[in-house]
Amino acid sequence: MSIAETEIKKFENGNCAENKVFYQAMEEVIYSIAPLLESDEKYQEYAILERLVVPDRVIKFKVTWLDDNNKIQVNTGFRVQFNNALGPYKGGLRFHPTVNEGILKFLGFEQILKNALTGLPIGGGKGGADFDPKGKSDFEVMKFCSAFMTELHKYIGPRIDVPAGDIGVGGREIGYLFGEYKKITSSFEGVLTGKPFFFGGSLMRPEATGYGAVYFTETMLEMEGKETLEGKVCTVSGAGNVALHAIEKLQHIGAIPVTCTDSKGTIYDARGVDLDLLKDIKLNRRASLQEYIEVHPEAKYISVEEYPEGAHAVWDIPCYAAFPCATQNELTDIDAQNLIVNGVVSVTEGANMPSTPKAINDFLSHKICFAPAKAANAGGVAVSEFEMAQNASMIRWSFEKVDEKLKLTMQQIAKRVALTAKDYGVEGNYVDGANIASFKKVADAMIAEGI
């Protein structure tokens, strides 16, 4: 039995349906770091894996709130404080009906390693609730956020745990959460990131994850001797924070993003996505993508029902570079085959774990440049840490300064990942490079801090 198989076997008891995605993330990391475990016994001696895969604590709480019909609603809230070896727990809050402990453990585990890769002093955590902001009034969202923070505030703080946004939690929700925290504690402090700029947010936080994914891709393509993105057709999934800003940055650098998706369907606009219209539909009106073709009837709308099980229209469109930016496991092995047959050169994960393990293997075995989420979408958390630094020192940085620091951070991550892969004999494999580099950083801190 290989060292990776032996390690994975140790955790098989907890592999239940709810923990499926957590195990998927954990297994990927264990297979990747096998060369490190083989080369240095101390990681096993100090039981680093056994300690790393168990969160420091999981806080689970009831959230009760009154809807607009004065009916009492009950949801479940969570905060998974996973690991603070490198700094305060840091990671987003997700409000979505699918949220459960297993999904948050997967996201929190990935977050520890992603945050380590940025080189910044932040640990990993994640949280959220099974609340669906879709279709709720602003007042209902406000009441839910207040009720959620009534419990969460006991466990967070600028040097303890600093949550941010994720799916379903944007500037509006962060504003309501921050307002409630301030009311309860009478303290105006950097306890949440992703705040609107006029009360303590950093410029560029909304753009950071999407822009960062494009900066990472540019560096990776250059290091791998491939052509730049300029003038190239790109496909993007999602129509939320990450996707919109990936599309925006691709347009800035002269690439041609031609797609976006939401949970109901895909837009394919061969002349390039109309970003102003897309922002109006999704940010201003929170409406369906189907409205896009009312303004651009020459574009195509493909609903999810029109596509066979296990495949997605967006990945069947020929492109030079693909950017999955919606959600986990949205790019399957069937999608990977379609992309490969159509000549894709690079795939960058803007979302967390959007590609299935089989899809990733297909990309790697076909020598497609593949940028894994924990490296490629670290721009968001990097700018969140810049927001913490600005809050702590009570100064504001310009858009240009944050953008420059973000670009540099993404370039450094890409180079560190590529170099680590080379050092451990898997040159060009950014998945293994990212997992080894980040695991080593956290593990060395854990060893230095004792048990």
Show which residues are catalytic.
Answer: 126
- The yes or no reply on residue 129 touching ligand NDP (CB under 6 A) is no
Q: For residues 97 and 254, which CB has a smaller minimum distance to ligand NDP in the complex?
A: 97
Q: List, in order, residues 6 or more apart from 447 with CB less than 8 Å away.
A: 42, 46, 48
Q: For residues 202 and 327, which CB has a smaller minimum distance to ligand NDP in the complex?
A: 327
Of the candidate residues 108, 123, 165, 372, the single one contacting ligand NDP (CB under 6 A): 165
CB of 381 to ligand NDP, least distance (A): 7
Report yes or no: 174 and 164 within 8 Å, Cβ to Cβ.
yes
- DSSP for 358-404? HHHHHHHHTT-EEE-HHHHTTHHHHHHHHHHHHHHHT----HHHHHH
Residue 304: strand, helix, or coil:
helix
CB of 417 to ligand NDP, least distance (A): 16
Question: For residues 177-206, b (16+ Cβ closer than 10 Å) or e, as one string?
Answer: bbebbbeeeeeebbbbbbbeeeebbbbbbb
Report yes or no: 386 and 405 within 8 Å, Cβ to Cβ.
yes
Counting residues that bind ligand NDP (by CB under 6 A) gives: 24
Range in contact with ligand NDP (rule: CB under 6 A) among 15-23, 77-85, 166-174, 178-186: 166-174
Alpha helices (H) along 186-326: 205-223, 241-252, 275-279, 292-295
Residue 124 and residue 334: Cα distance in Å, rounded? 32
- The yes or no reply on residue 168 touching ligand NDP (CB under 6 A) is yes
Residue 21 and residue 353: Cα distance in Å, rounded? 9
Residue 308 and residue 365: Cα distance in Å, rounded? 25
> What is the pattern of x (binds ligand NDP, CB under 6 A) and - over residues 343-362?
-------xxx----------
- The yes or no reply on residue 327 touching ligand NDP (CB under 6 A) is yes
Q: For residues 34 and 239, which CB has a smaller minimum distance to ligand NDP in the complex?
A: 239
- The yes or no reply on residue 326 touching ligand NDP (CB under 6 A) is yes
Residue 427 is classified by DSSP as: T
> Given CA atoms 77, 82, 84, 86 in this order, what sign does their dihedral have?
negative
Q: For residues 8 and 359, which CB has a smaller minimum distance to ligand NDP in the complex?
A: 359
**How many helices and strands (H and E) does the chain possess?**
17, 13
By Cβ distance, which residue is nearest to ligand NDP? 240
CB of 164 to ligand NDP, least distance (A): 7
Report yes or no: 247 and 442 within 8 Å, Cβ to Cβ.
no
- The yes or no reply on residue 53 touching ligand NDP (CB under 6 A) is no
Q: For residues 49 and 114, which CB has a smaller minimum distance to ligand NDP in the complex?
A: 114
Of the candidate residues 248, 262, 269, 385, the single one contacting ligand NDP (CB under 6 A): 262
> What is the pattern of x (binds ligand NDP, CB under 6 A) and - over residues 191-230?
------------------x---------------------
State how beta strands 233-236 and 256-257 pair: parallel
CA angle, residues 212, 217, 222, in degrees to nearest 5 = 130
- The yes or no reply on residue 235 touching ligand NDP (CB under 6 A) is no
- Residues belonging to the chain: 451
Of the candidate residues 28, 166, 248, 316, the single one contacting ligand NDP (CB under 6 A): 166
Q: For residues 150 and 209, which CB has a smaller minimum distance to ligand NDP in the complex?
A: 209
Of the candidate residues 99, 192, 239, 321, the single one contacting ligand NDP (CB under 6 A): 239
Range in contact with ligand NDP (rule: CB under 6 A) among 77-85, 150-158, 258-266, 290-298: 258-266
CB of 118 to ligand NDP, least distance (A): 12
Q: Is 280 exposed, middle or buried (0-12, 13-18, 19+ CB in 10 A)?
A: middle
Of the candidate residues 238, 257, 372, 433, the single one contacting ligand NDP (CB under 6 A): 238
Q: For residues 150 and 332, which CB has a smaller minimum distance to ligand NDP in the complex?
A: 332
Query: Using CB under 6 A as the criterion, which residues of the chain lie in contact with ligand NDP when the complex forms?
Result: 165-168, 209, 238-243, 261-264, 325-327, 330, 350-352, 377, 380
